[in-house]
Amino acid sequence: MEDWLEELKKRSSEDTVPEGLVPSSTYLGVREKDNYIVGMIDIRHYLNEYLTQVGGNIGYSVRKTERNKGYAKQMLKLALEKCKELKMKKVLITCDEDNIASEKVILSANAKFEDIRCIDGENKKRFWIDL
């Protein structure tokens, strides 16, 4: 766990982020009533060529046992507030074409669908959110 936290710290700064990556901030989604980690969300501070095509500014995951409980929507809402603090004007979020649940989460944040791109044989839906 300590190694992972140290890696996250490196990735958070332009000065220490590994080559080929962009600075990012990672947050854990923790349920307040029992301090249980339900998911995590990663904010990439800007886009490089790869992230513009595939990953976007925000990536998130929720434990399978905790899905469909509103955690992803809440995590995304909080992440968008952090994006505003980072002075981002808009963010790109992508999901697999067949990931209906993730698409609903993204659309709940007033995202605008842009297109679908086939990357390495996988179709990715791309959405923009104006901040």
Domains and CATH numbers, the chain: 2-130 (3.40.630.30)
Residue 16 has a pLDDT of: 76
Residue 131 has a pLDDT of: 97
| Cα–Cα dist 127/92, whole Å | 6
Residue 1 has a pLDDT of: 74
- What is the pTM (predicted TM-score) of this model? 0.90
Query: Which residues in the chain show pLDDT less than 70?
Result: none
Q: What would the 3-class secondary structure string for the chain be?
A: CHHHHHHHHHHCCCCCCCCCCCCEEEEEEEECCCCEEEEEEEEECCCCHHHHHCCECEEEEECHHHCCCCHHHHHHHHHHHHHHHCCCCEEEEEEECCCHHHHHHHHCCCCEEEEEEEECCEEEEEEEEEC
